[in-house]
Structure 1
Amino acid sequence: MRTLTQAHAWSEGRAALAVLAVCVALAACAAKPLVPYATDTPPLILVPASQAGVQDKRARFREIYCAVLEAHGAALPDYRPCESALTRVGTEPPGTGAPVVLGQSTRHLVAAVVAGIGYDCFKPWLNAPGTVTTQLRQAGYDGFMLDVDGLSSSAHNARQIRDAVMAMPLPDGPARIVLIGYSKGAPDILEAVVAYPEIRSRVAAVVSAAGAVGGSPLANDAEQYQADWLRHFPGATCTSGDGGAVQSLRPATRKAWLAQHPLPGELRYYSLVTFPEPQRISSILESSYDKLSRIDTRNDSQVIFYDQVVPGSSLLGYVNADHWALAVPIARSHATIGALFVTQNAYPREALTEAILHFLEEDLPASGK
């Protein structure tokens, strides 16, 4: 028999998942996909008007990620062999064969992660263990969450990103800040680097990690009041902000913004795309995966694969994980919920983040951007 404390925790967890599911996984009827799942997709067949000039750097990123996993990935949570961690899409170029040096970083890049919609609402409940930052520091890097309003527009959050970047004390030398945008965090960052040129000299690179760069069709059927339900998460202290989060995620909004705002050429951009095998979708996300599959089955349950790519960026890889598994470690702190609802949440995020920074340190010019 469960104790009262256990029963309360279970009830709280179910309520939290119910709120989250309603907000991000709108129900849909089954329908034949317009584009079925297939990994023989040409890897750079993207929307030409918005994703032009993408460079394929998957081969070297795979070498680095595999080396990190082999070196110490098994000692970290949610280990997977490299072939299971990344999805091979189309014809992936052969590896370079160059050695991978995993010693202490000399550039000491700092990952500043901007999370997705509503993150500040469920952050207290999530109670993430902070193991990604711990692992980065052991490799000579660092990382932190750059706080923005989870329910505000990308334009509003861009100002918050600007203020945080300008407030960071930085030593002389090459830029060290790596802005990593997860989900809606990616367009928030892109708006920041366009609107606030004063931050560019401090930024070494911009990375979209399952970023909603081109928006998500799910936002077309959503309203801001549904996102506001996240304010009822257990322990949530978030506010409605300017109420523009859902509008910022609509494809028409994002594509119009990209067409009207060329990205600054002095920055380097990178894209890490979630392209999971269908069996890697958590059960609670199946309804949103099915809904997006009416457009294209090559989605992560929230964003279609081509909408995750920054125009003119370097493509790092296709990750074999659903949208939540990439960055939201629900199952680690809520094991029962993970076993019943978030059934595919395990992913080696520590090794992945370390591999991203190792790759960037190698790929970025030593003297700057």
Structure 2
Amino acid sequence: MLAHPEWQSRVAAVFSWAGVVGGSPLADNVYSSVRDWDLSRVVQRLDVVLEWICPIINLRKGTALQRMGEMDIQDAIKSITVEHRAGWLSSHAEALGRLPMPVLCITASCLANECAYFNASGWMMLNMYDGNNDMQVTQEAALLHTRLSSHLAVLHANHWDISFGAFPPAMTLGSSKLQHPFPRQAALLAM
């Protein structure tokens, strides 16, 4: 809406569905680990590492890993760090305040036992900031504050439940928590 103000007259409302508006301490943690890595070298061996972790995944058939040269992983992670998001929100505060349409925010919240085992440590880290986190984002970080914003609902689900369909069994890494039974379609239709 800020990049294309000419669209504003055609938009009745904006929905933020578990957005990472304010960034995530999890992204801060990952970014501090990878910001100085030569990821092109890491990616060259990533297929071998993933096949070792989960042999049923055959990355040699052709995957997104073949297009890694088109991606800037470090910048993508940096873009959802708390510092980067705070800077963006601050530099765009005036324009966000002038948005003529409501911003309707829907967030999620779950318990540690409702996450895949490999996401539980992220939930615990976020729990230090917010006991109602969704394993990826805190409630506050999922809200966009404008003069016409409203926090419509907190859904009982984890971040992936409301974002993805069920993972193929071969890609669950042994977790039983990746079936994502949350009724996304019904929730989206209700909006």
**Same fold by TM-score, threshold 0.5 exceeded?**
yes
Partner of 1:256: 87
2:13 to 199, 205, 215: 205
Structure 1: gaps of 5 or more residues: 1-192, 357-369
Letter in 1 for 2:8: R
Partner of 2:185: 350
Partner of 1:287: 121
Asked if 1:196 is matched to 2:10, the reply is: no
Question: Map of 1:1-369 to 2, 5 A cutoff?
Answer: 193-223=1-31, 234=59, 235-236=63-64, 237=67, 239-241=70-72, 243-262=74-93, 263=96, 264-312=98-146, 313-331=149-167, 334-335=168-169, 337-338=171-172, 340-341=174-175, 343-344=177-178, 345-356=180-191
Tell me the distance in 2 between the aligned counterparts of 1:246 and 1:221.
10
1:338, CA displacement in angstroms? 4.5
1:266-285 residue CA offsets vs partner (Å, 9 max, x unmatched): 12211000112343222221
Residues 206 and 270 of structure 1 are in contact (CA less than 8 Å); yes or no, is this contact kept in structure 2?
Answer: yes
- RMSD of aligned alpha carbons: 2.8
1:346, CA displacement in angstroms? 2.1
The alignment's TM-score, normalised by the length of structure 1, stands at: 0.39
Which deviates the most, 341-350 or 317-326? 341-350
1:42-88 residue CA offsets vs partner (Å, 9 max, x unmatched): xxxxxxxxxxxxxxxxxxxxxxxxxxxxxxxxxxxxxxxxxxxxxxx
Say how many residue pairs are matched.
Answer: 162
Tell me the distance in 2 between the aligned counterparts of 1:196 and 1:248.
20
Change (3 A) 1:253 1:280: same
Runs of 4+ aligned residues of structure 1 deviating over 6 Å after TM superposition are: 226-231
Percent of aligned pairs sharing the same letter: 27
Aligned with 2:160: secondary structure? helix
Tell me the distance in 2 between the aligned counterparts of 1:230 and 1:342.
28
Partner of 1:13: none
1:205, CA displacement in angstroms? 1.9
Tell me the distance in 2 between the aligned counterparts of 1:286 and 1:215.
19
1:307-358 residue CA offsets vs partner (Å, 9 max, x unmatched): 1011031222111111111111133xx13545932515221111111111xx
Tell me the distance in 2 between the aligned counterparts of 1:256 and 1:197.
21
Change (3 A) 1:338 1:355: farther
The alignment's TM-score, normalised by the length of structure 2, stands at: 0.72
Structure 2: gaps of 5 or more residues: 48-58
Residues 274 and 323 of structure 1 are in contact (CA less than 8 Å); yes or no, is this contact kept in structure 2?
Answer: yes
Tell me the distance in 2 between the aligned counterparts of 1:300 and 1:230.
29
